[in-house]
Amino acid sequence: MIPETFKEVIDLGDGREISIETGKLAKQAHGSVVVQSGKCMLLCTVVSNYQAADVDFLPLTVDYREKFAAAGRYPGGFFKREARPSDGEVLIMRLVDRVLRPLFPKDYHSETQVMIQLMSHDENVMPDAMAGLAASAAIQLSDIPFECPISEVRVGRIDGELIINPTMEQLKSSDIDMVIGASEDSVMMVEGEMSEISEEEMVEAIKFAHEAIKVQCAAQVKLAEAFGKKETREYEPEAEDEELQKKVKDLAYDKVYAVAKAGSSKKERSEAFAAIKEEVKATFSEEELEEIGGLVSKYYHKAEKEAVRNLTLEEGLRLDGRKTTDIRPIWCEVDYLPSVHGSSIFTRGETQALATVTLGTSREANQIDMPSYEGEETFYLHYNFPPFSTGEARPIRGTSRREVGHGNLAQRALKGMIPADCPYTVRVVSEVLESNGSSSMATVCSGTMALMDAGVQLKKPVSGIAMGLITDTETGKFAVLSDILGDEDHLGDMDFKVTGTADGITACQMDIKVKGLSYEILVKALMQANAGRMHILKELTDTIAEPRPEVKSYAPKIITRIIPGEFIGALIGKGGEVIQDLQKKSKTTIVINEDPDTEEGIVEILGTDQDGIDMVLKKIDSLMFKPEVGSIYEVKVIKVLDFGAVVEYMDAPGNEVLLHVSELAWERTENVTDVVNLGDVIDVKYFGIDPKTRKEKVSRKALLPKPEGYQERPRNNDRGGDRRGGGDRRGGNRDRDRDRKPRRD
């Protein structure tokens, strides 16, 4: 018997609905829901161990997977099953994790796993916009301690009208693509890309999304009540000792404040803080540290955080001596690497990114194969964060989720500025060489300069900045920090990265750690970010003002030609022999794609040698060459036969036509070599298709004056006349079989 189910329906206001259902699937999980919109169905489960892990953080794992069966497809490749997550799945995991994590109790350390699976795909529904709703709904049905329901929605804007959860097709004409995560009373996460919108427009979109999220949070509460709200489980909280906390603060606070106010470098500051911590620990015996050493460390870090925050709130100073609006010193350089197609270095304080650009054909496009989306990217950016960038030594275990997320943010910041007619596939790689605050924004800046250095005709240069926020809810004081340090990221209440041109925002990523952040503070942060971006943008354009007019001499040049579909086969040749031989001779790479709409061939020619490119273009022109009736062409004799000469058009090598012996001269020609020889270059006139022979006809004699007294010999219509044109000048052979090979008289 099918078990009883409980369901809530959310009206999106335009005829679309989202339903949340529980009670039928995965009942051994601590919480499970099926979220559905149209034919798109997500199954989300959550399980949290009842025993705490031996760690001092929340071991939360958010997994999002798309099943190919959901779209009626097979996984690609030899291994026919879903394996490691794709970059697209990792990005969705990050979107959900960033909203959930702050809402678990800070002292809750049980291993917790949220699993979201796309079980049924609908091409008109983007599943990532419902992943946060599914995760929160599953947690609400469990006994896991969690502060309040949240949800996430996507916002688009078409012709000035904001839309919740637009379709993939609608996004193509939208100038905003943002995902917002929030609870009923607080915005917590924003990520997306925009087409140079203003700060006010961005805030308007966030507000619009928040109103939709409030409805989705209320639906989760109703579902939990109908299902039967479980009692929140009891767990063993972290040990606390108020007296010990006060003692550690008294020992450390003033010393930390003094070091923070000194405005030292990261290395000096870290050493000074470590020395203070050791001094605090030295006031306890070894026996005491064995028992309460963990608490001592915990309370020291609390004191350190409080001292640094208060320094900023009370005196407007920061760890490195800057004021809240100051940007660290910047230096830039382009064309640093001698062999790459484009390169640049961007250094801001103790953060440094080296970017490279590689240009290629459509063959190098990044193929995306997910159940919910198939396509390709002709512009993509990869971000690498090696351990030495922070002075650490640790093993590299593949690309981290952080690297995927930071690279995607930088890619979204820049991709809108790549012109639509850029013929190349463009790959940017950012190598983070030093890191102390916002290496992703350094990547945007170095990427901009490297693209311009490579000769990619960017519409406008893009800069980026990371903003921070420190607030005191009791006093109402707050400080917005421009160009935050790594330490300020950890101790602050907001990490807000924003990128854009001189005319507007192109991408953003925001994580808010404080409840009830007012929109007034958000607007102030955005406007302060604008001033910082403009300062950084000037540093970039002072280094390289505009894209180089051409790619570098050693970088490949690409030419695109469109050819009728009927010529594609001729250019490729039998078994690819023509195109392979042409690539070898021209030292180019030739890629041919067929336009599915027009069935035309799109030919990409990539090479560093212009002569090689010209060779390929000449071959294409030759293949498509169509002589015009009445026109005169220069031809070369490439073969001599008994009954004429085979000639090749000089303007179209490879295009041959028979110049019949009767069209060589007005006088009777006994031997072809009496008039032309192999290698001769002559002019001929093109007459089109001869109605008698149904073959192309060219003539040399038509360009020569008729001899004085010349008379046409009459044709013998009964016998068909001379096959060479004109009368039967040979006077015999009329009984010769037409199918026999002609012979000399």
In DSSP notation, 307-324 reads HHHHHHHHH-B-TTS-BT
As a whole number of angstroms, the distance between CA 488 and CA 485 comes to 5
Cβ pair 217, 188 in contact under 8 A: no
d(CA 176, CA 586): 45
Q: Are 209 and 155 in contact (CB under 8 A)?
A: yes
SS3 state of residue 409: helix
Classify burial at 77, counting beta carbons within 10 Å of its beta carbon; exposed 0-12, middle 13-18, buried 19 or more: exposed
**Contact (CB, 8 A) for 189 and 181:** yes
The DSSP code for 4 is P
As a whole number of angstroms, the distance between CA 158 and CA 173 comes to 6
User: Which tokens hold the place of 399?
Assistant: 């690309």
Side-chain half-sphere of 249: how many Cα atoms within 13 Å?
Answer: 13
User: 664 vs 330, 520, 661, 674, 706, CA distance in Å?
Assistant: 77, 90, 5, 10, 12
Q: What radius of gyration, in Å, describes the C-alpha atoms of the chain?
A: 37
Beta-sheet strands, E only, within 472-571: 478-482, 494-501, 504-512, 557-563
The pairing of strands 463-471 and 425-434 is unpaired
Q: Which among 118, 294, 96 has a CA at the least distance from the CA of 181?
A: 96
CA nearest neighbour of 648 among 587, 698, 598? 698
Contacts of residue 181, defined as CB under 8 A and 6 or more positions apart, other chains included, come to 95, 98, 99, 132, 150, 151, 152, 187, 188, 189, 190, 213
Q: Which of 217, 162, 219 is nearest to 188 (CA)?
A: 217
Strands in 84-202 per DSSP E: 110-120, 150-158, 161-164, 176-183, 187-197
Tokens 């997306």 identify what position? 192
Pairing of strands 379-384, 425-434: parallel
What is the DSSP code (8-state) at residue 357?
E
690 annotated ligand-binding residue: no
Angle at 578 between CA 577 and CA 582, to 5 degrees: 115
CA distances, 201 to each of 204, 205, 249, 521, 563 (Å): 5, 6, 44, 15, 44
Q: Is 495 annotated as a binding residue?
A: yes
Q: Would you tell me how many other CB atoms lie within 10 Å of the CB of residue 12?
A: 16
How many CB atoms neighbour CB 374 within 10 A?
12
Binding-site residue positions: 489, 495
Binding-site residue positions for Mg(2+): 489, 495
